[in-house]
Structure 1
Amino acid sequence: MSDPLTEIVRLLQPRAVFANVISGKGSWAVRYSEYGQPSFCIVLEGSCLLAVDGHEPITISEGDFVLLPTTPGFTISSFSPAPPVFIDPKVVAGGRGELRHGEIHGAPDMRSLGGAFMFDRADPGLLVSLLPSVVHVQGSARLAQLVQMVGEEYEDQKPGSEFMLSRLVGMLLIEAMRLTAGGGAPPGLLRGLGDERLASVLKQLHAQVDHAWTVGEMASVAALSRSAFYDRFTRAVGVAPMEYLLGWRMEIAKQLLRHEKLPVAEVAERVGYGSTSTFSVAFSRCVGQSPSRYGRSD
């Protein structure tokens, strides 16, 4: 049986870009401009205020994990007002040691490890579609361990660090998605996986993407009537069952065309199309260009 979360992370191929320890003492505030790529933070000690643009400020404390899939502008600060220091995350390098804000001397009121990552292959919009705009997980020891290891690998730059970082960030993403799955997730795959009956269908769709699925067959897997399944799937996942399957087939097709450089006919067969022309029409409608042109572009 295929695991959808593993497939998605494998398709994205995440890699860490930078990581830094940030600390603050007394009255302090740091304003980060919009970054546009996914970023993460784990609070190592103490607590502070996080205000993400478009959202109410939240308190984040020791052990809390935050993931921002698109990283809009945000401010982290002490609980007492202070003029902010402005930082552009696109020009801040990681691995430079601890960045201290507020009072220089004495034990900090807050220490956190934050960083960002990019994806080598798939459009990061795939991740954005799965997660809330602000993921806040409280008290996850596993996430704390993973983020700590990301920081250590980035700082030490030992042989094999690039490989280790890509694997650690993939594990971090899966753990964050696991903890978000269910009612707390927006309509999408994660909410669907939080529903036991829909999860069985989603796993089989991913395991047999080349199968000639019908809504009736999916409903049978979910042990629901066709209409009940259709309504439940559409509410949880945000799109109709066949539309979801089409979108996932096209994500796989894009990778096979651009990165595996497979012929269009073979890609069509792998993603469940008996006719190359039918696949080409569907791909062009979804992606905005023909499969052959997409495969030739960088």
Structure 2
Amino acid sequence: MDPLEDVLALVGATSRLSTAMAAGGRWAVRFDPPAGVKFNAVRRGGCLLRVDGVPEPVTLAEGDCFLLTQPRCFTLAGDLDTPPEPAGPIFRAAVDGVARAGTGEEVFLIGGAFSFTERGRALLLDGLPPVIHVPAATPEAGTVRWAVEQIDTELRAEPLGGRLVAEHLALVMLIRILRLHLARGGGSGWLAGLADPVLAPVLRALHARPDHPWTVAELARVASVSRSTLAARFKEVVDRGPLEYLTGWRIELAAERIRRSDDTMASIARAVGYGSESALSVAFKRTTGLSPRAYRSRARR
């Protein structure tokens, strides 16, 4: 089982493309915190990106893109000395799907956002930096650039099903950006664990057989290290112990089945590795703050 594919399938990721933006001359646009995970790609020209709480601005060149992983205000600008205008009025005045800032069209950006279920957002994004910059000059970014180009083509040509194709391409881009982040190393959380040579086989094993009664000793054999080494490494990178991670993943699987199926709580408990409905209920309430039945009722409302 591929844990990244596993989690992306579970978190209910959807994409939405937004109005494009053209800008030129002296310009700066201030954006409110996005509701989802925001992305933009520079199709022409270049600009600066400043994200609240990030010390240094990011220089964006033609072909670059970025992923804003947290709901923070951000500014796109031709220079940082120009007072920014709020994005709302500019985008409400868009013509033919393009909002315009400043004078001319020296810079052209396309963008959109990814949305996740409430629990899925924390599961996927924990440990990521607030902004991930993918420079066009990075050789590994070729597929990201291809996806951006195809999205632009689909939106401009407007063929049958073009918007749906563009949205699926945006999800491809999200996966590629996450892969690039993993390849760079650093960070924490389960995504960082996927790039760790000790933890990666353990995470694959946990995701392949979440209902198995795993022990730390058995997982240490999977990783070919001692129990103490595995426990320490898991805590350092993923910020929790291996069995604590397994409990969290089982609860995510149970929550997904509770939301989307009419299965009994007893059958869901067995499917995710709990011996009884009461054992699932105790673990589920400790993790989510709700009993499984209360969670199902709230989800369906």
TM-score higher than 0.5: yes
Change over 3 Å in CA distance of 1:212–1:80 after alignment to 2: closer
Calculate the aligned-residue CA RMSD, in Å.
Answer: 2.4
Aligned to 2:206: 205
**Cα offset, 1:125, TM superposition:** 2.2
- How far apart, CA to CA, are the structure 1 residues paired with 2:148 and 2:193? 27
- How far apart, CA to CA, are the structure 1 residues paired with 2:228 and 2:133? 35
**TM-score, structure 2 length as denominator?**
0.88
Aligned to 1:30: 29
Contact kept? 1:182, 1:190, Cα under 8 Å: no
**Cα offset, 1:36, TM superposition:** 3.2
1:2-151 to structure 2, matched below 5 A, reads 2-55=1-54, 56-79=56-79, 81-88=81-88, 96-104=96-104, 108=106, 110-119=107-116, 123-139=120-136, 140-151=141-152
More moved, 136-145 vs 113-122 = 113-122
More moved, 58-67 vs 153-162 = 153-162
Change over 3 Å in CA distance of 1:88–1:101 after alignment to 2: closer
**Cα offset, 1:54, TM superposition:** 0.4
- How far apart, CA to CA, are the structure 1 residues paired with 2:214 and 2:47? 50
More moved, 124-133 vs 238-247 = 124-133
**Cα offset, 1:159, TM superposition:** 4.2
Q: Does structure 1 residue 241 correspond to structure 2 residue 229?
A: no
Q: Deviations over 1:228-283 (max 9, x none)?
A: 11111111111111111111111111110011232111111111111221111101
**TM-score, structure 1 length as denominator?**
0.89
Change over 3 Å in CA distance of 1:236–1:21 after alignment to 2: same
Aligned to 1:188: 189
Contact kept? 1:41, 1:114, Cα under 8 Å: yes
Give the counterpart letter for 1:214 in structure 2: T
Contact kept? 1:182, 1:193, Cα under 8 Å: no
- How far apart, CA to CA, are the structure 1 residues paired with 2:33 and 2:42? 21
- How far apart, CA to CA, are the structure 2 residues paired with 1:182 and 1:249? 27
Where is the helix percentage greater, Structure 1 or Structure 2?
A: 2
Change over 3 Å in CA distance of 1:206–1:92 after alignment to 2: farther
**Cα offset, 1:167, TM superposition:** 3.0
Contact kept? 2:17, 2:167, Cα under 8 Å: no
Instruction: Please give the secondary structure, in 2, of the residue aligned with 1:164.
Output: helix
Give the counterpart letter for 1:229 in structure 2: L
**Cα offset, 1:220, TM superposition:** 0.8
Alignment: residue pair count: 293
More moved, 77-86 vs 115-124 = 115-124
1:224-235 to structure 2, matched below 5 A, reads 224-235=225-236
Aligned to 1:277: 278
**Cα offset, 1:198, TM superposition:** 1.0
Instruction: Please give the secondary structure, in 2, of the residue aligned with 1:112.
Output: strand
Contact kept? 2:129, 2:187, Cα under 8 Å: yes
1:246-257 to structure 2, matched below 5 A, reads 246-257=247-258
**Cα offset, 1:161, TM superposition:** 4.7
Q: Deviations over 1:129-166 (max 9, x none)?
A: 15221111222121122233334445666544565355
Instruction: Please give the secondary structure, in 1, of the residue aligned with 2:21.
Output: strand
Aligned to 1:268: 269
Instruction: Please give the secondary structure, in 2, of the residue aligned with 1:123.
Output: helix
Change over 3 Å in CA distance of 1:268–1:277 after alignment to 2: same
- How far apart, CA to CA, are the structure 2 residues paired with 1:121 and 1:151? 29
- How far apart, CA to CA, are the structure 1 residues paired with 2:153 and 2:197? 37
Contact kept? 2:37, 2:113, Cα under 8 Å: yes
- How far apart, CA to CA, are the structure 2 residues paired with 1:62 and 1:162? 23
Instruction: Please give the secondary structure, in 1, of the residue aligned with 2:267.
Output: helix
Contact kept? 1:27, 1:81, Cα under 8 Å: no
- How far apart, CA to CA, are the structure 1 residues paired with 2:23 and 2:111? 14
